[in-house]
């Protein structure tokens, strides 16, 4: 029997590797794995597929080696970082102020560092500027209404969830690599919390990898340079405000000087004209 439709549940096709999970409606779930050496297809019932999914979760927990459980991570982020897990050395936990979180992304081939409140999610949620967010490439969850969720819907759904919860839930950590405050996961949640509570501490997990592998572009050195740049901008703003104050003071002094000169001229005019009026009276004119 021919199946009426095929839905890709997951698909990777890069660097000579092809991996796909297909839901062949009316037939079976297929898992494809192919490279230059092998070409495998598994035909599974839904029950078989769920059993394999649970076994994969157990394998991921083994890779985490007791440092965390895969259920504590965002599913999309776990999919992205799964290839890094064999090199995971440690996980530590602390808190960070939301305004200290940095977002990095490539713009015209260059790394752009921005405070989280000025990146695409921050602009969409805090400043009603969705242009960059709407076009940003990212993986979104499926919704109950459609097979794809837009970037804007993701912003709204995260905000509504955090607002309903009254803050972060038990697994709502944001994630960093090493000692960097450059966020790797949790940008939507952090900005949602900022919109509700302002600049406040958020729980975070830091992933540490062997031999410094996967160290983010946004290292502590770059963050220090960003802080220095922001300090310089603040200093320039202060100088500009001081200059404006001095200009206002000079303007006030100039106006006072003009008023004084006008009063002086008026006084002198009276003193000069009085003798002439006396002479005119003596002459009978």
By DSSP bridging, strand 183-185 and strand 174-177 are antiparallel
**CA-to-CA distance for 79 and 160, rounded, in angstroms?**
24
Using CB atoms within 10 Å of the CB of residue 75, give its burial: 0 to 12 exposed, 13 to 18 middle, 19+ buried: exposed
Region of residue 81 (phi > 0: left; psi between -120 and 50: alpha; otherwise: beta): alpha
Distance separating alpha carbons of residues 102 and 119, to the nearest angstrom: 9
146 confidence band (pLDDT: 50, 70, 90): very low
Can you tell me the mean pLDDT for 127-151? 67
Residue 28: pLDDT over 50:
yes
Q: What integer pLDDT is reported at residue 274 of this predicted model?
A: 56
Helix axes of 151-165 and 187-197: crossing angle, nearest 10 degrees:
50
Q: Tell me what pLDDT residue 271 has.
A: 53
**Is the overall model pTM greater than 0.85, yes or no?**
no
Pick the most confident of 12-16, 121-125, 274-278: 121-125
Query: How many angstroms from the chain centroid is the CA of residue 278?
Result: 85
Contacts (Cβ under 8 Å, ≥6 apart) of 122:
103, 115, 116, 191, 194
Yes or no: say if 105 and 135 are a contact pair by the CB < 8 Å rule. no
pLDDT at 156: 87
Q: What is the pLDDT of residues 118-134, one digit of tens each?
A: 998 999 999 988 888 76
* CA–CA dist 59, 83 (Å, integer): 13
Domain map (residue ranges) of the chain: 78-218
- What pLDDT digit, counting tens, does each position of 204-243 carry? 999 999 988 888 655 455 555 556 656 666 777 777 788 7
């Amino acid at each position: 029997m021919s199946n009426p439709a095929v839905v890709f549940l997951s698909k990777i096709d890069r660097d000579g590797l092809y991996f796909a999970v297909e839901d062949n409606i009316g037939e079976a779930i297929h898992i494809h794995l192919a490279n230059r050496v092998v070409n495998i297809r598994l035909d599974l019932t839904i029950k078989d597929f769920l059993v394999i999914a649970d076994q994969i979760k157990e394998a991921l927990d083994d890779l985490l080696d007791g440092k965390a459980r895969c259920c504590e991570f965002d599913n999309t982020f776990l999919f992205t970082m799964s290839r890094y897990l064999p090199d995971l050395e440690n996980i530590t936990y602390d808190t960070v102020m939301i305004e200290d979180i940095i977002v990095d992304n490539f713009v015209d081939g260059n790394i752009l560092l921005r405070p989280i409140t000025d990146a695409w999610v921050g602009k969409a949620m805090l400043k009603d500027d969705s242009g960059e967010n709407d076009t940003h490439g990212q993986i979104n969850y499926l919704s109950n209404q459609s097979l794809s969720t837009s970037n804007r819907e993701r912003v709204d759904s995260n905000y509504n969830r955090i607002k309903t919860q009254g803050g972060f839930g038990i697994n709502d950590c944001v994630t960093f690599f090493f000692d960097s405050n450059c966020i790797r996961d949790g940008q939507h949640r952090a900005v949602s919390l900022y919109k509700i509570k302002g600049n406040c501490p958020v729980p975070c997990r830091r992933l540490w990898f062997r031999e410094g592998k996967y160290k983010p572009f946004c290292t502590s050195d770059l963050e220090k340079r960003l802080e220095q740049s922001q300090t310089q901008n603040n200093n320039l703003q202060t100088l500009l405000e001081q200059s404006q104050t001095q200009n206002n003071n000079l303007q006030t002094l100039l106006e006072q000087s003009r008023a004084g000169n006008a009063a002086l001229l008026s006084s002198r005019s009276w003193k000069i004209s009085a003798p002439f009026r006396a002479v005119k009276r003596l002459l009978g004119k």
